[in-house]
Structure 1
Amino acid sequence: MIINGRRWRATDPDVPEDAAARLRSHLRAARRAVATARRAQDTAAERAARARVHAAKVALGERGTPWWDQQETERRARWSEGLAALDGRPDDRDARGA
């Protein structure tokens, strides 16, 4: 996708909507955690939060190997493994509704 002359990678359209919604929730929570860590000048927390942002974006297909270059099984594994990893992180409780 191109916005203001800059190319941006879009979310993989094959990610099921329920999984994509959960991944976007993890992404929003991680971005909030980055902001909180920056305000607190906590570099370790910021690094951890940025790793969560990256994991969510990879799972959505916005980073890493382009989804259009992957087989269907690789794409499915990418988002399901990413979601499992993010769901298992204790610092993302609000993304799961807990």
Structure 2
Amino acid sequence: MAHDAGSHSADRRPTGLGQPRTPDGRYFVVRGRLWRLSNPALDPAERERLVQQLMTARRAVRMAKGDPDALRAARSSVDAAKRALGERGLPWWTDGAPDYNRRLVGNTPYADWYETVSAKDAG
């Protein structure tokens, strides 16, 4: 669905299923970090095509270990699919709100919301 330390493993994370989602539908949270969700305005058929493209690219990353050129190309394909899905690059929303993708939720305006969500999960 991005490079910060550890982001390659983040590419294998689920796309937010079962994870808390921000009330505005822009992010899901994994281990206290915000990850941008796909653009909900994408046509379902186009979204499915892009998800399949992303899965193919992720498989290519796994297969390319030990081949720097193939690995670079595969990672570029992952990035292209994630950008097309709206998970990377310019935000898909148009209200001018800043992008907090990959930020710790506690350092964003979502901190109070996340505390209430975390408290419900703990209780």
TM-score (norm 2): 0.53
Q: Which protein is richer in helix relative to its size?
A: 1
Aligned length: 68
1:55 to 72, 80, 86: 80
TM-score, reference length from structure 1:
0.66
Equivalent AA in structure 2 for residue 8 of structure 1: W
CA distance in 2, matches of 1:37, 1:3: 27
Per-residue CA distance 1:8-62 (angstroms, 9 max, x = gap): 1000000011000000000000000000001xx1000000000000000000000
Of structures 1 and 2, the one with the larger relative CO (CA 8 A, separation 6+) is 1
**Percent of residue pairs bearing the same amino acid type:** 49
1:20 maps to 47
Partner of 1:18, secondary structure, is helix
Whose radius of gyration is greater, 1 or 2?
Answer: 2
**RMSD, aligned α-carbons:** 1.2
Residues 41-87 of structure 1, C-alpha deviations (whole Å, 9 max, x = no match): 100000000000000000000000010138xxxxxxxxxxxxxxxxx
1:2 corresponds to: 29
Moved over 4 A (4+): none
